[in-house]
Amino acid sequence: MCGRGRVLIDYQTLKCDQIEESSTTVPSVENFAPGGTSNIIIKSGTGSKLVTAKWGLIPSYFKEGITSSNFFRRFNARSENLTKNYQKLLVNNRCVIPFSGFFEWKKEGKHKQAYYVKAKDSDVLYMAGIYDVFDDKSTSERLRTYSVITTDSFSKFKQIHDRVPDFE
């Protein structure tokens, strides 16, 4: 999956038990990129909760402070490397990421053709993800971030790209 999507979702239409107040003010974005803030759905007690997070995982054990380039390092997480790289997050910090759709570019000679991918029968495309909360000691900032889990492409999509989000 490439690093661009659309997030044009009314949070009230999402299926979750609780809604964090900050989630109600997240704006819709036509061209959403890593580093941007959106809503994700996390486990909360026996139910689920809609919360805000930035796209681009900064793990809690990360030693550096928060910079704009951090969000571009881990905006996607390959499913085959999850147990090796993110074992703790897989157990406790899985999330569902609602997007309207995402953009992918297919190389055609020297040019790239953009494709928009969305759910067939819904306004919401639910993608699997992992998240964490990073405490930046230098600024006392606490930041929730996430990464979209990607997997090998399915047969029809392979002609466009070799990776796709893991859909929930």
The CATH number covering residue 103 comes to: 3.90.1680.10
Report the percent of the chain where pLDDT is more than 90: 46
- pLDDT one-digit tens code per residue, 108-138: 889 888 889 898 999 999 999 999 999 877 7
Q: Which residue has the tokens 């790239």?
A: 112
How many structural domains does the chain have? 1
pLDDT band for position 1 (50/70/90)? low
Find out whether 34 and 1 touch, Cβ atoms under 8 Å. Answer: no
Tokens 């390959």 belong to residue:
78
Q: What residues make up the domain containing 147?
A: 5-165
8 A C-beta contact, residue 25 and residue 11: no
Q: What is the pLDDT of residues 47-96, one digit of tens each?
A: 999 999 999 999 888 877 677 777 777 898 889 888 888 888 998 999 99
CA–CA separation, 110 and 154 (whole Å): 25
Say if residues 144 and 51 touch (Cβ distance below 8 Å).
yes
**pLDDT attached to residue 7:** 94
> Could you tell me how many helices (H) and strands (E) the chain has, helices first?
3, 12
SS3 (DSSP) at 24: helix
Residue 138 confidence (pLDDT): 74
- Which H helix or E strand runs over 71? helix 70-73
Confidence of residue 168 (pLDDT cuts 50, 70, 90): low
